[in-house]
Amino acid sequence: MSLLTAQELLQGAAANLLDPQGRRLAAAVQWWPLHGLPGHWPVAVVGSGPPVLLLHGFDSSLLEFRRLVPLLASQHRLIIPDLYGFGFTPRPDDGDYSPRGVLAHLEALLAALAERHDGAPLGLIGASMGGSVAVELARRQPQRINRLLLLAPAGLTGRPMPLPPLLDGLGVRFLSLPGVRRGLCRSAFADPDSSVGPPELEIASLHLQTPGWGEALRRFARSGGFAGCGEPLPPQPLSVLWGADDRILRPAQKRAALALLGERLRELPACGHLPHIDQPQRVADTWLAGAAAPEAVAST
């Protein structure tokens, strides 16, 4: 199957997704050539103003920012890529499906942004695994990133845990099961009975149809993924929002993150693992205020 199939998936999403915000975001996707990488790469570009780069989480896609985009687009130019090996990206047979490959793709994207625009510093918002990616990118590109907002960041603490052969394939097959997808989607929300329906389930699984999804995910799992990325924290201003009802990240992970982040971390009530979907207005208000300042305080 070819790259055109990935493009057709997003074109179909722009016309047919049940979620209207998802349709609009899919319609905003452009396909960029990136230096050193074959083919063209999906990047949604929306709005105008100071640029902000948004990075999604593990086994997800740029469509997860569908509810946050309308709240920021009037004041920012939002650049929303799919991470390398995830979402609707091409997956070349010889691709590097490890944290190294993910970061190389983003650095090529930053170079393309500098060519297309003026190279102005960017804000950076990263969700779940995208939070660890954001921290790594900010350390590598301190002159390009001016501040960060992390949403339930995963991988700041701990150590890489590569899955051995056979287990990686079993894990991928497990994640492809419709019942598992449904359960994971529901677990990500504070109130799944009211928040999760056919539109959310559709978006949570659409990218699985992209050619190479399973093989790229298997190889990423064998790499060990992103872990222990928080130290040292990057020098830029950094804020963190964490849902009080997060059932994806374990309490021990939250305690370790709190020890690392201290007062930078704030809790959002009635919020699960996806603040940008569960509480998008609070996330937007936090970003636009320039610092995290929700009313609730972090707890252990």
Least Cα distance to 293 among 237, 235, 229 occurs for 237
CATH architecture of 3-289: 3-Layer(aba) Sandwich (3.40)
Global pTM value: 0.94
Distance of CA 127 to the CA centre of its chain: 5
Which pLDDT value is given to residue 299? 37
What is the distance between the alpha carbons of residues 299 and 293, in angstroms, rounded to a whole number? 15
Whether residue 293 has pLDDT greater than 60: no
Provide the token pair at 251: 């309490």
Whether residue 189 has pLDDT greater than 60: yes
Least Cα distance to 242 among 179, 196, 294 occurs for 294
> What pLDDT, in 10s, does the model give residues 122-176?
999 999 999 999 999 999 999 999 999 999 999 999 999 998 888 889 999 999 9
> What pLDDT, in 10s, does the model give residues 96-110?
999 999 999 999 999
Which pLDDT value is given to residue 73? 98
> What pLDDT, in 10s, does the model give residues 271-289?
999 999 999 999 999 999 9
| Domain spans of the chain, in order of start | 3-289
Whether residue 55 has pLDDT greater than 90: yes
Provide the token pair at 284: 């937007």
Alpha helices in 141-223 (DSSP H): 167-176, 178-187, 192-195, 198-206, 213-223
Tell me the helices (H) and strands (E) count for the chain, helix number first. 13, 8
- Which pairing describes strands 122-127 and 77-81: parallel, antiparallel, or unpaired? unpaired
Least Cα distance to 133 among 92, 83, 90, 89 occurs for 83
Q: What percent of the chain has pLDDT over 90?
A: 87
Which pLDDT value is given to residue 253? 87
- Tokens 């309490």, residue located: 251
